[in-house]
Amino acid sequence: MNTLEQNFDTRNFSDRLTGSGFTLLKGDCICEDGCKDSRKSQKTGLIFCRKAVNPTDYIYRGQDRHGFGMWQAVEDAQAFSSQASEEREQKKRESLEVQERRRREQIQRQMSDFERNRWYQQLLDQLVLTDADREKLLARGFTREQIITDGYKSVTAWQKIGKRFPPNLPGILTNGILNVPGDGILCPIRNLDGLVIGCQVRLHDGTQGRYRWLTSITKKNPEGVTSHLNGELPVGVFEPNDFLGNSIWVTEGTSIKPSLARYRLGVPVVGAASGRFDSSRETVKASIEYLATKYQTNILTFAIDAGDVVNRSGVPERWQQQFEFLSSLGYQCYFAWWGQVTKQHHDIDELKDYSQIKIISPSEFLSIVQGHKVEKPKTEKSKSTKSDEWKETYELERKIRARFNFTRNAEIAIKDGFLPRIKLDAIQPGTIGIRGDWGIGKSFLISSWCKEWKHKIIQVAHLNHCLVIPLLNLIAFIIMN
């Protein structure tokens, strides 16, 4: 008798199952041995068997705490999948309806851009700019006149504001406190009409991030008024005194950086937080249309930050998305390049010599990005080898880690070299293993599932570093339903 049988009396346990939602199969089992302690759940239809090994028309669903393998009939899985798909679609529709209702309610509570401008101007009139903050702005390259024109002001953490303001003005709480967590410089954001429709605060302490939107959201009031207008975050629109270029420039940021760029280059600039212009599509579209008409140009120039081309957190891909969005609006897009490969170089607002700027095409920019991709050095464990000695050790470790063996029979076999586009509602709940070489579309497929899934997702580790999985290029995607 093995260890499991010594600690667990299968015969007595099976006797106890007869009245607890299970049906004993008594030899009529899906395994070839016809074991007598197998059982079937009356509620789920799952077959619990110790000895079954890949039975025909059954799908392995894991192992229970008593050591029984759990198997589901394919037809039951398909029926469950169909029902689950309908339930997911219903929940998805309900979730979208709730989101849309909240969005409409937020828009109804919002001030108009004219009202925001009126009240924010009164707030700015109450605030002052300290000498220390003025010196910081002068050091960045502003003139005193430009600082006054832009309207920068100094604020302190949780500063008390004397005058009463409307409760739907973002950033001022009902107790008259400015909702700012630290000392910094208040930066007004103006739209295409020159109206102040939002503010960001540039904190002196950037440990937890340098910029903060001025909103009324707090832990006690998570439904507080946000900076959004018509469901979109504001973007900054900056116009030069004299137009010296031939294009509209786009940069990351909504205040200091794009403002300095327009003053120094003599060009109109549109700035978006984190450079995400596609997150404020209608606002960006209207702003650029206004500037394009006024300055008679159909050209956009991207001024990307130093280090963006080698950033491995998706920044180059983000700029690619912005290029695709803005070019889809009918504009000719180019990139400004002054050799800003790493963070040791300057951003557009830090440049001293603008004659070094070259205007390059999107394809040239893409070539630069590709040329500076740096592969992570392989660790000793992940070094390739011609020997198969590691496989035996790996299999043993895998079995110990998993406590049971994954099935090796693929339910979907791919023969043309690329994964098909499988919809989330077409797959069965459970753990899904995808094994294949680089470039077959594993990450793309998982990403598409994540976009369809409307609930929480737990990513155990980076896709390319899941435990010892890189050895087999295996990715496990766990959907928790």
pLDDT at 439: 55
- Crossing angle of the two packed helices 256-265 and 131-140, in degrees rounded to 10: 50
Cβ atoms of 30 and 55 closer than 8 Å: yes
**More confident call, 23 vs 362:** 362
CA-CA distance, 309 to 347, in Å (whole number)?
A: 13
* Strand 431-435, strand 474-478: pairing: antiparallel
Q: State the span(s) of the chain assigned CATH 3.40.50.
A: 235-374
Residues 6+ apart with CB under 8 A from 45: 72, 73, 76
- Distant-in-sequence contacts of 44-52, Cβ < 8 A, 24+ apart: 44/72, 45/72, 45/73, 45/76, 46/70, 46/71, 46/72, 47/71, 47/72, 47/73, 48/22
Q: State the span(s) of the chain assigned CATH 3.90.980.10.
A: 112-227
| Residue 478 pLDDT exceeds 60 | no
DSSP 8-state secondary structure symbol assigned to residue 15: H
Cβ atoms of 39 and 17 closer than 8 Å: yes
User: Which whole number is the average pLDDT over 444-473?
Assistant: 60
Token pair of 224 as six digits = 């507080």
Residues 6+ apart with CB under 8 A from 171: 178, 179, 180, 199, 214, 215, 216, 227
Mean pLDDT across the chain, nearest whole number? 81
pLDDT at 53: 80
Token pair of 248 as six digits = 């509209």
The pLDDT confidence band at residue 479, using thresholds 50, 70 and 90, is very low
| Residue 382 pLDDT exceeds 80 | no
The pLDDT confidence band at residue 86, using thresholds 50, 70 and 90, is confident
Q: What is the pLDDT of residues 338-350, one digit of tens each?
A: 999 999 999 999 9
The pLDDT confidence band at residue 12, using thresholds 50, 70 and 90, is very low
Which SS3 state, helix, strand or coil, does residue 211 take?
strand
| Residue 19 pLDDT exceeds 70 | no
The class level of CATH for 112-227 reads: alpha beta
Cβ atoms of 446 and 477 closer than 8 Å: yes
Helix (H) or strand (E) holding 302: strand 299-303
| Residue 380 pLDDT exceeds 80 | no
Cα dihedral value 50, 56, 61, 66, nearest 10 = -10
Which SS3 state, helix, strand or coil, does residue 373 take?
coil
235-374: CATH topology: Rossmann fold (3.40.50)
pLDDT at 413: 61
| Residue 327 pLDDT exceeds 50 | yes
CA-CA distance, 241 to 105, in Å (whole number)?
A: 40
Q: Which of 93-102, 115-124, 176-185, 277-286 has the lowest mean pLDDT?
A: 93-102
Provide DSSP, 408-426: -S-SS---SSS-----GGG
pLDDT at 440: 61
The pLDDT confidence band at residue 392, using thresholds 50, 70 and 90, is low
Give the residue carrying structure tokens 């978006």.
272
| Residue 469 pLDDT exceeds 70 | no
Q: What is the pLDDT of residues 46-67, one digit of tens each?
A: 889 888 888 888 888 888 888 8
Token pair of 14 as six digits = 């099976």
Helix (H) or strand (E) holding 61: strand 58-63
Q: Which of 255-259, 388-392, 425-429 has the lowest mean pLDDT?
A: 388-392
